[in-house]
Amino acid sequence: MRSNAVHLFILTIVFLLGTAAYAEDKQAIAVLDLKARGLEASVAENLTDLVTKEVDRVGLFRTVSMEEIKRMLEHEQQKILAGCDDTSCLAEIGGALGVELLLAGGVGKLGDTYLLSLKLIDVREAKVLSREERTVTGKVEELVTASRQAARTLLRPILKQESGTLEISCSEEGAEVYIDDVMVGTTPLPPRKVPGGYHALKINKKRFVVYGKDVKIDPQQTTRVEVALLPSEAFIAEYESSASTYRTLAWVFSGVALVAAGSATGMFIWNDGRLSDFNQDKNDPAQDPADLRDRRDSINLVDSLTLGIAITGAASLGAALYFWLAGDPPGKYDNVKKEVEVVEFGGHAGPGSLGATATFRF
C-alpha cells in the first residue's frame, strides 16, 4: 500500500514540475529537509536552508530545494515524502524530480551534543556517493559552521570531476595559505588542483593583515590570484629599522673598503718607488750603511702597513657584501596605505556569501 502511495506521489511531482524548468546544463541536485531528532524542528529547517545555500554557492549545480517542491504539494503528499528514508526510495523520488543527485540527512541532539549527518545519493545508480557527519558540543549556533563545512565536503566526489588549477602569487614568502579553512601550504605555493566551484581563500602571515577572498575555480581552467599582503605599522617600523641598520652598515663597510683600497694602492706605489731607489743606492760605496739600514727598515715597515690595510679593506669588502645582500631594501612599504579594508570569511564562499568587513587604522 505504501509503495503505491509513493508511486502516486512521484507521478504527481512529475506532472507538477514538467520539463521546462530544468533545461539548464548544470547538474541538478535536490536538497531534502534535514530530519530533526530530539530537537526543535526549526533548527533542522534553518540548517536545511544553510546547506541549500552552500550548495548554491558552489556555482556548479542547479539546486531544487524542498521549499520549492512543498509549494506544489498537497498536505498528504508531503507526509509520503516525510516517510521516505531508505536510499532506493529517495533515489526514486530524485529520478521523478529530474535530478541527478539528491542530498538528505538529519540533525539530532543527545545531552549537550549535536550530531549532523548528511549523505549524497546518485539518483541513477541509487547508491550513496558520500557521507559526512559533524559532532558539535555546546551551543547550537556552532552547527552553522559545521553544516557549511559538511555540505562542502560532501560534494567533493562530484567537484573533483570538475576540478581546475589554482595558482597563487603572493608578495610575501612564508605566508600560510588556507582553502576552505584548511591550510594547504605556505608561499611560494606551487599550482594545485582544486575542486570546481567557489572556495574561501585566506592568506595569513604574522604581523600582516589577513587576506580573504571568494575564488571561483572553473573546470579544466587555471585561476590565477595575485596577493599583495599589507603589513601592520609595527611590522613596517621593525622592517625599516632592520633594513636601515643593514644598509647603513653596508655603506660604512663599503666606505672603509674603498678608503683601504685607495690607501693600500697609494702606499704600494709610493713604497715601490722608494724600493727602486734603495736598490740603486745600496751598491753605491758612497752611501752611508746606517742610512741604508734605516731606509730598508722603513720600506719593510710600510710594506707591512700596506699589507695590513689591504687585509682590512678585503675584510671590509666582505662585510659590505654581506650587509648589501642580507639586508632588505629600505622604503619597500613606503607606498602602503595606512587604512585598508579586509573581508574575512566564516568558512563559506560563493556569490552572495556573508562576510564580516573590518577596517584597520594604523
Give pLDDT tens digits for 331-344: 877 776 454 434 34
Higher-pLDDT residue of 207 and 360 is 207
* Sequence-separated (6 or more) residues with CB below 8 Å from residue 348: 54, 57, 148, 200, 354
Q: How far apart are CA 166 and CA 227, in angstroms?
A: 13
pLDDT of residue 83: 62
Q: What percentage of the chain exceeds 90 in pLDDT?
A: 22
Residues with Cβ within 8 Å of 218's Cβ and at least 6 positions away in sequence, in order, are 164, 196
User: Considering Cα of 22, then 23, then 24, then 27, what sign does the dihedral take?
Assistant: positive
29 forms beta bridges with 63, 101
Q: pLDDT band for 78, please (50, 70, 90 cuts).
A: low
Distance CA 120, CA 127 (A): 9
Q: Are strands 197-204 and 176-179 parallel, antiparallel or unpaired?
A: antiparallel
| Mean pLDDT calculated for residue range 287-315 | 90
Give me the pLDDT at residue 191, please.
92
Residue 47: CB partners within 8 Å, gap ≥ 6?
Answer: 34, 107, 116, 143, 144, 147
pLDDT digits (tens, 9 = 90+) for 244-255: 899 999 999 999
Contact 249, 318 (CB under 8 A): no
pLDDT surpassing 80 at residue 127: yes
**CA 19 from centre of chain:** 42
Count CB atoms within 10 A of the CB of residue 304: 10
Residue burial 64-85, b: 16+ Cβ < 10 Å; e: rest: bbbeebeeebeeebeebbeebe
pLDDT of residue 7: 52
**What pLDDT score does 23 carry?**
40
Highest mean pLDDT out of 73-82, 229-238, 352-361: 229-238
Residues forming a β-bridge with 137 = 113
Which residues, including other chains, have CB under 8 Å from residue 309's CB and lie 6 or more apart?
260, 263, 264, 267
